[in-house]
Structure 1
Amino acid sequence: MKRRSKLPRIIPICRYSSRRAHGSNATSQATTPARPPVNPRGTAFQQRVWALLAEIPYGQLTTYGWIARRIEEQTGTRTSARAVGSAVGRNPISIILPCHRVVGSTGSLTGYAGGLNKKIALLGIEGIDVDALSMPKKGVAL
């Protein structure tokens, strides 16, 4: 029996990531490639959070609280920004589901699995004024 490679399923994601990194910018939406279909494994709650991450436009920010309110609107179940933060932190494909575009309600950069410096760099590439955002207070988990 011939073993099938998983590579063909990976190629669209690699192509998408490469185009995002090398060609797209906030002023050129026409060059923004279509997001490949993804279906990361997670709880129903995590799936809802990750679906909302996918809706955040290139070059724009949202907050954990906004995502929590959207989930409450969709499900009728009250959700905390902290619970959303936990789900965002478990995002297995952060460059595709752009968790770097989520900040705290006060404009704090909060954490990022790739490190705060990478989050700042990604936001800068997207044309976001990172100087207008604040660094987390000392002692806050990154």
Structure 2
Amino acid sequence: MIIERFAILAGLALAVAAGWWLLRLWRAWKLRGLRDNAPLASFAPLGRPAIVSFSTPSCAECRTRQSPALARLAGALGDAVTIRTLSALEHPELVDRIGILTVPATVVLDRRGVVRHLNLGYASDQKLREQVTTVG
């Protein structure tokens, strides 16, 4: 009985770890495919790093966590970074092309408009600042 439960728990842990690893692998593959083009360049001026945030009107976490984090980041970095928010519902082709699976989602672009980081779910202002700094 105990051995069976342990085997089940070990199998579940393995399945979760494999799923997490596959998601990271898929996200890296999507980012690699976006390196040769700049699908969001029309939403952010070239010449400085940018963050494009995707949300929906019904996303509570977008309003309560992601928007305030973006506002703090904008206050801290000022004109050093461009921050835009797009509706995922109004831009389904971009959502699909970039590989956004959930909202909130943030995309960090380098100075040339190339996608460098994709954050699925909430990303803190500190995390976004670190990502902008690495591409800036």
Normalising by structure 1, report the TM-score.
Answer: 0.28
More helix by share: 2
Structure 2 length normalisation: TM-score? Answer: 0.29
Q: Per chain length, whose mean CA-contact separation is higher, i.e. which structure has more relative contact order (CA < 8 Å, sep 6+)?
A: 2
Structure 1 or 2, whichever has the larger Rg, is 2
